[in-house]
Structure formats: structure tokens, C-alpha cells
Amino acid sequence: MKQRAGTGIIERVDETTWPPTFKGRQYELRALGLRDFAGLRRDDDPLDPFALAHFAKLMVVDFEQIEGLSEETREHLLGVGADCWSGGTCSRPLPNGWRLVILNPKHGRARNNATLMEEVCHVFLGHKANRLAIVAQNKQGKTVARDYNDEDEEAAYAVGAAALVPYAALRRFVRQGQTSTEIARRFNVSRELVEYRLKVSRLWGEYRARHEAEVAARYAQRQAAAARFGDKARDERTSEHTHNDGHRRHAG
């Protein structure tokens, strides 16, 4: 970026380095600062959030080390409820100032990298939890406990994602014809995170044009899965209705 002296006005944006949106450039600037702090010199070097967590005074605790959970709770968190949580940081620090972080062991290293990076960014961006927990519903309708306001949540996730997958390298890989899966493998993140970065960085249109068959096939798979889920839910409702109706007739 080139800035006119004394005006604070950006005259030109380097398209190969910076995202096209103002907000995207603000997030990218902070993300590159984190990568520089981590000692990375290349824009395609993978970032290790676990190494940064040390500087943020975040101690990642193995889920199996947590004591006091009932067997029923443990089974729920690692079973049917495993997709309902990704991780979190304890609001109250330890006596030495460190905070404990718990990550979902069922999500794998790629997803855990994004979760931990978001927690690291809350620290580096100076975010303060506004209360112990706010129970609310996210955009998918799931009930979640949140410690930060919407703006801080967005910034921490966006900066963390940009630090893990920098714009310059992402744009270059797209132009080289790499798939989102290949890019994800390069940066040790999930394919979903790469595609999030493609979309917020306005690279999704170009990517989709280069990989029409792949994107179309994935869309068809999602549609088929949604249809199967809908059929299953409808069958369960029908079964329940039939059971209840039969019970009422029997009781009468």
C-alpha cells in the first residue's frame, strides 16, 4: 500500500498482497503482524498456533486431563454433542496469569488450529470478555455460550484465519490451479477454512471458475445429504406420530 504523506489516504493497493475490501485489509495487516511475530518469513509457511499460544499465556489442556466430568457428560461431549462445540478459554486466569484452553479432540488438528488461533487472536487484539458467558443462538440456530461481543468474535476469527492462510499466498495458489483441499493441506487447516478465506477475500468467483466440476460435485453431495437428512427427520416424525396416535387409540 502507498500512503500520501501527511494525509493518511491510501492511494493504491497492491492487489497481489492485500484483499480488495477495507475491512479485509485491516484484518490482513494484523494477521501479517502475527505471522511476523511468529518468525515466519514466507507467506506460504504454515503457522503453528500452539507455538503462539505460549506467548499469549494460553495453556492447552488435553481433554482427557479434565477432572470432575460425569461419564454421561464426557460421552455426550465426545459423542452426539461433539459437533456442538469446538473449544474455549477459561475466563478466570490461573495464579500465574495463564489461562486454560480446551479443544475438542474429535475435531482433529486442522480444525483445532483454527479454534486455537481464534483464542490467541482475542489475546493479541486485546479483547476483554464482557461477562462470564452469554447464552445466545448463532446463525445456524445452535445455542452457544459466548464471552465476547459480535464485533470481537468476527475480528478474532477473521484475523486468525488470515494469519493461517495469508491472502498473497492464497491468491497465488488459486492462480496456479490448486484446489482448496491442496491449499488446506499446505497450511494445516480445514478445507472449510480455506473456502471461507476465498469468499471473504473475493477470490471465490475465480476459484469456482477454475474448478467448476469439483464445486458442482460438492454442491450435489450437500444437496443429497440434506435430502437424506430431511427424509430421515420426516420418517422419525411420522413414526412418532403413528406411535402416539396408536397409543391414544389404545388408551381410548
Using pLDDT thresholds of 50, 70 and 90, give the confidence band for residue 248: very low
- The reply to whether 180 and 77 lie within a common domain is yes
- The reply to whether 196 and 252 lie within a common domain is no
Are the beta carbons of 25 and 12 closer than 8 angstroms?
A: no
Domain that holds residue 81: 2-210
Number of domains forming the structure of the chain: 2
- The reply to whether 202 and 237 lie within a common domain is no
Are the beta carbons of 44 and 188 closer than 8 angstroms?
A: no
- The reply to whether 250 and 154 lie within a common domain is no
Average pLDDT, the chain: 81
250 against 45, higher pLDDT = 45
The one-letter amino acid at 78: L
- The reply to whether 145 and 222 lie within a common domain is no
pLDDT of residue 165: 99
6 against 106, higher pLDDT = 106
pLDDT over 60 (residue 233): no
pLDDT of residue 147: 60
pLDDT over 80 (residue 46): yes
- The reply to whether 92 and 160 lie within a common domain is yes
pLDDT of residue 129: 66
Segment 155-212, tens digit of pLDDT: 999 999 999 999 999 999 999 999 999 999 999 999 999 999 999 999 999 999 999 9
- The reply to whether 27 and 123 lie within a common domain is yes
Average pLDDT over residues 57-68: 80
- The reply to whether 196 and 111 lie within a common domain is yes
pLDDT of residue 230: 72
- The reply to whether 84 and 104 lie within a common domain is yes
- The reply to whether 68 and 91 lie within a common domain is yes
Are the beta carbons of 146 and 185 closer than 8 angstroms?
A: no
Are the beta carbons of 125 and 148 closer than 8 angstroms?
A: no
- The reply to whether 157 and 146 lie within a common domain is yes
Mention every residue, 6+ apart, whose C-beta is less than 8 A from residue 96: none
Phi–psi pair at 11, nearest 5 degrees: -85, -35
pLDDT of residue 15: 78
The per-residue b/e assignment along 204-222, b for 16 or more CB within 10 angstroms, e otherwise, is beebeeebeeebeeeeeee
pLDDT over 70 (residue 134): no
Segment 10-27, tens digit of pLDDT: 456 677 889 999 999 999
The per-residue b/e assignment along 144-176, b for 16 or more CB within 10 angstroms, e otherwise, is eebbbeeebbebbbbbbbbbbbbbbbbbebbee
Q: Percentage of the chain surpassing pLDDT 90?
A: 48
Q: Dump the DSSP string for 192-206.
A: HHHHHHHHHTT-HHH
- The reply to whether 201 and 233 lie within a common domain is no
Q: What is the pTM of this model?
A: 0.76
